[in-house]
Amino acid sequence: MDGSTKGRVALVTGSSRGIGRAIALGLADAGFDLVLNDIDRQAVFLAAVKAEIEARGRRAFVVHADVSRKAEVTAMVTEAIAAAGHIDAVVNNAGILIANSVEDLEEEQWDAVLDVNAKGTFLVTQALLPHMRARRYGRIVNIASIGGKHGAPLQAHYSASKAAVMGFTRVLAQEVGANGITANCLCPGIIVTDMGRTNLSDKANVAKWVDITALRRLGQPEDVAGPAVFLASDASAFVTGQSLNVCGGIVLS
């Protein structure tokens, strides 16, 4: 990465583990300082990520918030800007998955998944926009999923939430482009994380996903970090409104 990341600060939601942690560390390696977010019960893991970033010589700040709650998001963004000075990029990574069939899906499960995955992305973005507009600069990276493009059994609500993120991002890009702000999505495939293991229930299921992946392997969280760094940096200055598959070749487009 070139000098375009010098002095840059990125906020990464859901950064205590999995893809969020890998993206935060990747951004630190690229020269970003970090604001790390997750819910209170992930405090120990978030503190460990903070220590890893500081060991790389970058600044790191921790702000706890549930991204599905507007008041907490507003307070988080205020605290983040006060601590770091400014926010150049945000990676809306926080997400949950509760597997269930459409027939058995409870209203509370639907709401919980949509609230974190879709509404959380909207709330964090909305809270940061005045700051980014004032600075006439911003990089918004939303973590969607190939599940939002083709879905999988037991994940209708998850698929709906990620499709919503992609639709939201396409409109957002059109609304904020004149202010020097880009908005893009990453669509991970089968990534080996605690949440990703929902798709990896047994050896036969693992073999199925490996077989339909062009690269013939499952993804690791670090595989998502490089594309996230690209979209969070000036290297992607003329890229906006896009949804990039990071799936090893499951979805080809």
Q: Rounded distance, CA 238 to CA 57, Å?
A: 30
Which domains does the chain show, CATH number per domain? 3-246 (3.40.50.720)
Choosing from 158, 168, 209, 230, the catalytic residue is 158
DSSP 3-state assignment of 32? Answer: coil
pLDDT of residue 209: 93
Give residue 3's pLDDT band: very low, low, confident or very high (50, 70, 90).
Answer: very low
Average pLDDT, the chain: 96
The token pair at 45 is 């893991």
Q: Each residue of 57-101: pLDDT tens digit?
A: 999 999 999 999 999 999 999 999 999 999 999 999 999 999 999
Mark whether 137 is an active-site residue: no
Q: Residue 65: which of 8, 16, 114 has the closest Cα?
A: 16
The residues, ordered by sequence, that sit 6+ positions from 221 with a Cβ below 8 Å of its Cβ are 18, 19, 21, 22, 23, 191, 192, 193
pLDDT of residue 6: 78
DSSP structural state of residue 58: -
Stated pTM of the model: 0.96
Q: Each residue of 161-180: pLDDT tens digit?
A: 999 999 999 999 999 999 99
Q: Each residue of 24-60: pLDDT tens digit?
A: 999 999 999 999 999 999 999 999 999 999 999 999 9
pLDDT at residue 2 tops 60: no
Q: Each residue of 91-148: pLDDT tens digit?
A: 999 999 999 999 999 999 999 999 999 999 999 999 999 999 999 999 999 999 999 9
Q: Rounded distance, CA 49 to CA 14, Å?
A: 11
